[in-house]
Chain A
């Protein structure tokens, strides 16, 4: 059996690649398996591990989709994006896009948005612990804001959606949240994901907060962003005081 796997002209690396290809290149069946169906076991194991990993990464999407549809989408993701790292926790960022492109995703488009929020929460949960560098704040005394950038804490994530993402997550965490709060908004509402100690939370932020934070993450100076937001309801001293107090900033730097 499998004589082609062991063709003497192949290197060990090629034989191992062929072995793995036999696992990845066919869908995972369900068991039980008869002797001689060993590759089917590996295919099923691969899918089961992927499902378990993504069930942790996307808990809300899993509950919204249900196990059967979630499993089908994970299988599709595996076929499109094979794991390239040993850590399953780093795999699966593309699941929201796979959901979007699916029939279910087209029928219930909010699920992909919820999945994006799940991913941000997952990343925040694993992000480096943050401790603001207070010495870097002295740059505000010595330099113009045109020359200063701000590095956000690694746990801070941003997304934007017309769907009531915060309420949907709250609703799944606590069914006491009233269903009439689950209303679609006319314009996208920015959501910030962040970590309070080790607890990941999410909240709506203003459009100006959102644009300012996005600009900082793109490496723009505080001054250029304040110019852009001039005339809008944005108070930088208040913003930075709150951001430091809530541990959302890593440090200030010369841009």
Chain B
């Protein structure tokens, strides 16, 4: 049972994003070109864990970023699916950051990070896949409620890649996500690259069919953001890793077109975290997303 008053959450914050809003992940090597003058992008996404220090240059840089762009907060370490709960300290820090910078969007992942190991609370340092059971659903709902109460706004929850297949699942991934939305009032961040990586790792005959079928099972009104990224190609039989080290693949763009056609006005972010391209190349990826958005959803309507 959700404890949050969903009607009191500022839903308008999400609907403020009108089409076609396109953003990019802001990473350290791009600080200088990105922050010296405003680029033709609508928002930048930062990983909040890089900005939860007490002071210093990074927070000043974030102030500068906020002056130039809307900001999206993407968390990677809350561990929403952790049965031992979400770190109070991390949550307090996030709430302070949200209060100070008033981001456009706040998101984290459908994963667990926190466990007790050998008598100590440990952060596993990765986005570990949750079991899609009723018990797990309850844990996620409780933790998401807690986060939303702390930050006073709805959270976006992102589908992740899974490199280990858990045999005992009560729900499909899409059904699980839909139930989570119903129980918590959260929205979904659909990562198209993660769908394609999972499709490869599940040895799907047609990753495109898998991704499109997945998207068809998600109610459009539940989706608040789309992530686009690329991954390093691997051979069949090898595990693909969601390394964000490549441009968006042509298949990724194809699925994005399909997603926008189905989901409509959804802000879209291009993620690139490793083997970073130049700032200009990254902007070019964002511009392609904008062109697709204009073509599918309609420019300036």
Task: Name A's B-contacting residues (CB within 8 A).
Answer: 1-3, 5-6, 11-13, 15-17, 19-21, 23-24, 31-35, 37-39, 41-42, 45-46, 49-50, 82-89, 124-130, 154-155, 195, 198
Q: Are A49 and B84 also in contact (CB < 8 A) when A86-B90, A87-B90, A127-B55 are?
A: no
Tell me if B168 is interfacial: C-beta within 8 Å of chain A: yes
Taken together as a complex, chains A and B put the C-alpha atoms of A125 and B58 apart, in Å, by 9
Taking the nearest CB of chain A, how far is it from the CB of B81, in angstroms?
8
Please name 17 further chain A to chain B contacts, defined as beta carbons within 8 Å, in addition to the given A13-B83, A32-B238, sorted by A numbering: A6-B168, A12-B133, A12-B136, A17-B117, A23-B128, A24-B122, A41-B241, A46-B125, A49-B126, A50-B125, A83-B122, A83-B124, A84-B120, A89-B49, A129-B55, A129-B56, A195-B56
Question: Quick check: B121 and A23 within 8 Å, CB to CB?
Answer: no
Pick the residue among A15, A41, A154 that contacts B131 (CB under 8 A). Answer: A15
Q: Which residues of B lie under 8 Å from residue A31 when comparing CB positions?
A: 238-239, 241
Residues 45-67 of B at the A interface (beta carbon under 8 Å): 49-50, 52-58, 60
In this complex, the member of B52, B123, B128 whose beta carbon has the largest number of chain A beta carbons within 10 angstroms is B123
Beyond A83-B122, A86-B77, is A42–B90 a contact (Cβ under 8 Å)? Answer: no
CB neighbours of A2 from chain B (8 A): 164, 166-167
Q: Is B87 an interface residue (CB 8 A)?
A: yes
Known: A3-B167, A6-B168, A24-B117. A16 touches B56 (CB 8 A): no
B239: contacting residue among A32, A85, A198, CB under 8 A: A32
- Interface Cβ pair total, 8 Å cutoff: 151
Task: Indicate whether A125 sits within 8 Å of B166 (C-beta atoms), given known contacts A46-B126, A85-B90.
Answer: no
Which chain A residues lie closer than 8 Å to B221 at the CB level?
none
Verify A86–B121 contact, CB threshold 8 A: no
Q: Does B89 make an interface contact (CB < 8 A)?
A: yes
* Chain A: minimal CB distance from B75 (Å): 9
Closest 8 CB pairs of A and B: A86-B77, A38-B163, A126-B53, A198-B57, A38-B164, A13-B83, A128-B54, A129-B55
B219-254, CB under 8 A of A: which get 1 and which 0? 000000000000000110111010000000000000
B: which residues have CB within 8 A of A?
Answer: 49-50, 52-58, 60, 77-79, 82-84, 87, 89-90, 112-117, 120-126, 128, 131, 133, 135-136, 139, 162-168, 201, 203, 234-235, 237-239, 241
CA distance in complex: A229, B52 (Å):
40
B163:A42 contact, CB within 8 angstroms:
yes
Partner among A45, A84, A127 whose Cβ is within 8 Å of the Cβ of B54: A127
A83 close to B125 (CB less than 8 A): yes
Query: Which of B55, B56, B123, B163 is in CB contact (< 8 Å) with A86?
Result: B123
B239 and A127 within 8 A (CB): no
A32 contacts B116, C-beta separation under 8 Å: no
- Cross-chain contact A46 with B166 (CB below 8 angstroms): no
Complex CA distance for A86 and B80, rounded to whole angstroms: 12
Q: How far is the CA of A130 from the CA of B55 in the complex (A)?
A: 9
* Smallest beta-carbon distance A120→chain B, Å: 14
Q: Is the CB of B122 within 8 A of A32?
A: no
Complex Cα distance A223/B203, Å? Answer: 74
Question: Out of A12, A20, A86, which one reaches B117, CB within 8 Å?
Answer: A20
Determine the residue in chain B with the shortest Cβ distance to A19.
Answer: B128
A86 touches B167 (CB 8 A): no
Kindly state the separation between the CA atoms of A41 and B20 in the bound complex, as whole angstroms: 36
Given contacts A34-B239, A38-B163, A84-B123, contact A16 B57 (CB under 8 A): no
Contact B128 A42 (CB under 8 A): yes
